[in-house]
A and B are shown apart, each in its own frame.
Chain A
């Protein structure tokens, strides 16, 4: 098993909604991106799995703070640093894909975040999903009400979420070397889902 970096994974999962982001090769490039964006960013080490657990994700980084985090993040990863627009999210979801020995490729969608790890509130759908199956799977989640709008907020855009699920399904169906896919977290901002991190696991045969 071989894992692709977040940046490579996102390139393979074409056309999904991502935050505005940049794989910065230098401090100057990084600072220019933050200035252009005009608000603080998240800075992540590149080419490393389990970044959060490794303390390699830094929040609220403005242009002045790039120097303070650059060296450590660049050294921990492949030398580049991934910068992304920091999002204000009302809900965290998880979308994924995997292969079952009997039922073939499946996609999953569920509630993300720490509570979700405890409750495992995830539903699976045979890939590719048929019309209506994503919405039906969401209806099966224990936390379905969270998707209908929290405290008067907007409901999750189910069609947009289904597009992410379909994007994951398409890659899984098209590329048999792809064994597992994680879009985790998928943050919901004003109802719109955005894939903040992605991971692709390839079988050993694929280069």
Chain B
């Protein structure tokens, strides 16, 4: 499934911007599209320019991507126009199709037929569009979202809900995580979540994939595709509507005991997909993927100078099924020489606030280098000695071991970790649950 022209278009046509009222959604879409790289054209029956973009009445050249945001009754004409010009992919953002009932469904089927006859891919209808990082500072914003995160990175996200897309962008902004691709598939008339997953699985820029799913369609095909993708990169699914249709009349005991979600869970388990139970655990798992978690890890070191919060973290580890192994004798000897005599060198490892500042770096590096340790929770409440952060940053760079931190009132430490891409969370327990995210 080649969706390259959808995610990396060089030319774009926008249908539906108003020549007279720039507050229309179509004008937001045009502005967003024109803010990025590539040639952008507006398609409008009369205007020559709209909001500074050249406008023509009919598309007279092939473009990679058409963005269609016209009233429902004019969508078919726009799709026909785009298809006739040799467009690679069209996104219909307009609503009023399959989601409204059989009549809308018939209109939607016609759009698909027109697109398929011309070899054009169709996204939507009834969706929020596409966002994609094109390299450097170049972005494609082919969506209604006027605020997209400007940080590029490896996370990609496919959503059957436009509104959850907004929640995703909100989380990306708040956490500072980097985005690769975003696609809202809406009614999935042609391009569905499985098609998007397949393409993102092969996309070298995408390192982890999140999906908000209401229905899988052909579940077995999803499992086959997802299984190939999860061999390369983590896939995290939040499935909405777990209870729906669970109460179907069943003749057998089995039919009445097993809810509709059991099949989804069975499919995701076989595919190696991480299933998030709710919004919070979905974002935890996305954060975990961004923190470098690529497989289940069990053996955690809690590195701290703060006693109480690290005990809370240890409790959370036990609840989550993570273990806190002892460090090797060699590592403990090395730490003895770097920390005060009263430092606690079990696990949690309390280096103590009295540890000479410059010793934090080699001490933390030694802990990360210990083969017994697969991941680290770093905790620092109020001891703003920069080397604590530098030590974590350097050790992460050297070992790649997944790390989640809780940092409070230590802006210098926080900045050092942020520079190295180490994620910080609002509580010690959240930091632990992120590292445990891959275990679910």
Answer yes or no: A104 CB below 8 A from chain B CBs.
yes
Residues of A within 8 A of B216 (CB): 102-103
Selecting from B127-135, B266-274, B284-292, B328-336, the interface stretch reads B266-274
Determine the distance from Cα of A98 to Cα of B263 in the docked complex, in whole angstroms.
10
Answer yes or no: A110 CB below 8 A from chain B CBs.
yes
Interface size on A, residues (CB 8 A): 32
Residues in B45-67 with C-beta less than 8 Å from chain A: none
Contact of B219 among A102, A110, A180, A181 (CB under 8 A): A102
Determine the distance from Cα of A179 to Cα of B251 in the docked complex, in whole angstroms.
10
Determine the distance from Cα of A100 to Cα of B255 in the docked complex, in whole angstroms.
10
Residues of B within 8 A of A117 (CB): 257
**What are the 5 closest A-B residue pairs judged by CB atoms, nearest first?**
A96-B254, A103-B219, A102-B219, A100-B263, A124-B262
Q: A102-B219, A104-B220 are in contact. Are A201 and B257 (CB under 8 A)?
A: no
Per-position contact with B for A88-103: 1 when CB-CB < 8 Å, else 0? 0000001011101011
Question: B269 touching A94 by the CB < 8 A rule?
Answer: no
Answer yes or no: A159 CB below 8 A from chain B CBs.
no
Q: A94-B257, A136-B269 are in contact. Are A103 and B263 (CB under 8 A)?
A: yes
Q: A102-B215, A102-B218, A103-B219 are in contact. Are A180 and B254 (CB under 8 A)?
A: yes
**Total cross-chain contacts (CB, 8 A):** 94
Secondary structure dominating the interface of B = helix
Q: How far is the CB of B281 from chain A (nearest CB, A)?
A: 17
Answer yes or no: B253 CB below 8 A from chain A CBs.
yes
Residues of B within 8 A of A3 (CB): 251
Q: A117-B257, A122-B262, A126-B270 are in contact. Are A100 and B251 (CB under 8 A)?
A: no
Answer yes or no: B298 CB below 8 A from chain A CBs.
no
Question: B257 touching A180 by the CB < 8 A rule?
Answer: no
Answer yes or no: A130 CB below 8 A from chain B CBs.
yes
Question: B250 touching A124 by the CB < 8 A rule?
Answer: no
**What are some 28 contacts across the A-B interface (CB < 8 A)?**
A1-B251, A3-B251, A94-B253, A96-B253, A96-B254, A98-B255, A100-B260, A103-B216, A103-B220, A103-B264, A106-B266, A110-B257, A116-B257, A117-B257, A120-B257, A120-B258, A122-B257, A124-B265, A125-B270, A133-B269, A136-B269, A180-B250, A181-B254, A182-B252, A182-B253, A182-B254, A184-B253, A201-B251
